[in-house]
Structure 1
Amino acid sequence: MEIVRKNNLNVRKTVEKAINNHPEFHFFVDELSADNRMPTYAGIADEKYTFDEMDDGFFDFINRKIQENGVYLRICYMAGQEVAGEAIFVLELAGNPLTFKTDELDKVQVVEMADYGIKITPDEIIFGATIDGGCAHTPYFAEFGSKNCNETFMSLENPLNRYIISLIGEFLDSI
């Protein structure tokens, strides 16, 4: 399973595809700091560029941030619950709802809400998720398979994560 791959992404097409079906589009692209924190998550970047439309200025900003520390593009949202010994996850990918169920409760972490996506750098695309930075800390990006946060949540043994990685991999638009 490929967690990091060469960046051959058509960023504009992929961002447009991810964002066009969502009313809250300013939560879909975040600039990253050198330590993978997301300073734009709370809307701080609103002063730097507008989220009102995906114009050339918006993509110029994204391209500059890719060259600096990268950007995080949220592609998949998930809501989960445990019912009768089964984990049920409702996923949304570009406005399309999907359901994933598993009885492997020892390999998944059922959380109320989470998002998954890709870190885009000039050379690489890295699959991962937003991790809560804790009280008074900004969220940060963690790649699948990392020991950040809860190991079960990020684990490649987690069947939900394997499914999400395959979904996101098929979703990306190449150059």
Structure 2
Amino acid sequence: MNVSRKININVPKTVEKAVNGNEDFHFYVDELTSNDCMPTYVGRADEKYTFESMDDAFFEFLERKIHENGIYIRMIHATGESASEGAVFTLECGNMTKTFKTSSSEVLVFEFADFGIKVLNDDVTLGTTVDGGCHHTPFFAEFGSDRGNREFLSLDNPLNKFVMDLLLEMIVLDE
């Protein structure tokens, strides 16, 4: 399964599908810096938009950022908990909720995480937000990366395989 490839993504429709009227969806889009950090987390973005302002100016902002350092579109908000024989994860994507259960020891149980796509020009990369450490800005890391927790980003992780399939379903391509 490819983690990064060139595709002609329809960003406005993909963002709208990811949010899909869910005003409680967590942190749906962020601009990226050249090293994949997210300045909007600490309020340093040169422009800031909210769910209510997903208008032409918002999508013009995204288009500009796509051609600078890229954007990260959060498409899945996940919570996890340990179970007697493994773990159970609840994944919110747009207006639907999916449950993923596993008994695999390859899965790192986390309290919450998000998964999405980085869009830079016509490159789309599947990945997640990773905490940069205590008092550091979070950053984007692709699945299989050695940036951040290897167990969490592993391509052998069955949760990540499930998440990748969901992400691919959520992406809207230009025709």
Length-normalised TM-score, structure 1: 0.94
Structure 1 segments, 4+ long, off by >3 Å, are 42-45
C-alpha deviations, 1:9-68, integer Å up to 9, x for none?
A: 0111001111233224671110000000000124443x6243232111000100000000
CA RMSD of aligned residues (A): 1.4
Q: Find the aligned partners of 2:173 and 2:2 in 1 and give their Cα distance.
A: 16
Identity level (%): 48
**Is it true that 1:11 corresponds to 2:11 in the alignment?**
yes
Structure 1 segment 122-161 matched on structure 2, within 5 A: 122-161=121-160
Gaps of 5+ in 1: none
Q: Find the aligned partners of 1:151 and 1:55 in 2 and give their Cα distance.
A: 38
C-alpha deviations, 1:78-128, integer Å up to 9, x for none?
A: 1001110221101111121110011012x1100000000000011200000
Match of 1:116 in 2: 115
Q: Find the aligned partners of 1:80 and 1:4 in 2 and give their Cα distance.
A: 26
Gaps of 5+ in 2: none
C-alpha deviations, 1:115-168, integer Å up to 9, x for none?
A: 000000112000000001112211000000001111110000000000000110
Q: How many residues align?
A: 173
Match of 1:171 in 2: 170
